[in-house]
Amino acid sequence: MHFSAIIQARMGSKRLPGKVLRDIGPHKLLEHIFQRLRKVEVEDYSITLAIPDEPESAQLEELARKWKVGVYYGSEKDVLSRYLGAASELKDTDYIIRLTGDNPFPDIPAFNSLANRLISHPVDYAYPLGLPLGMGFEFVRVNALRSQEYHALLPHHREHVTTFIRENPHLYEEEAIPAGPFASYQTGEVYPPEIRLTVDEPTDLVMAIKVFDHFAKIGNPWFGSRDVSGLYARLPDFFADNLHVEQKSALSHE
């Protein structure tokens, strides 16, 4: 079973253009993702950057090549087709892990936990519960990803890749796995914190820089969700600066 981490990224964000190449501490946003994914403890594993087929993407390819990350060019709007192309060489029983260039700090302990569970208990679609917004990801079995092409998909299904799977649980075997500090392992109940670590707007970028600088100063640049949880427990107002930002919905086309 192969695991392929596929990061979707583009330069043309309307709310914060070029955000994936903005600096967070000593590295660009995308570089934080690359570095964290290199710490994944899965043997049969690869990383690919899936980017739009447009001239601006050359900057993203250059950065990916520097970090020895694979590159796939595809449609800007039809992100599902971009993922399908990036996964074209994979077997039906392999997994893609969907990550986005919005989220510089994916939680690697949770990533390892889900991958190990899926090796022994495979399902079509799995995602972690209990992570702060911006530290998550989704695991999709390749045959489930491909099966969407046999259905009448709406534009938001193609833009957001896994929306059709989530909207049709009767067609797919799904599992939400408590893997972070804000979910109960016993009941699966989630306790969403007032934390926003995704980057959509300038105030989000300021928050990402603030959080990274805090942990880097104490010698923990690879902080995970449990470190964030500990900081939140002590200083909840630390994370208040960008809570006014409205999260983009799966039906939005901004």
Positions in the chain whose pLDDT score sits under 70? 249-254
pTM to 2 decimal places:
0.95
**Are 161 and 97 in contact, with CB atoms under 8 Å apart?**
no
pLDDT score, position 253: 31
- CATH class for domain 3-242? alpha beta
- For residue 164, which of 155, 97, 84 has the smallest C-alpha distance? 155
Mutual angle of helices 202-217 and 225-234, in 10-degree steps: 90
pLDDT score, position 240: 97
Query: Residue 253 is encoded by which pair of tokens?
Result: 């086309």
pLDDT score, position 96: 98
pLDDT in tens, 182-203: 999 888 899 999 999 999 999 9
Q: Where are the domains of the chain?
A: 3-242
Residue 210: alpha-carbon gap to chain centroid: 20
pLDDT score, position 13: 84
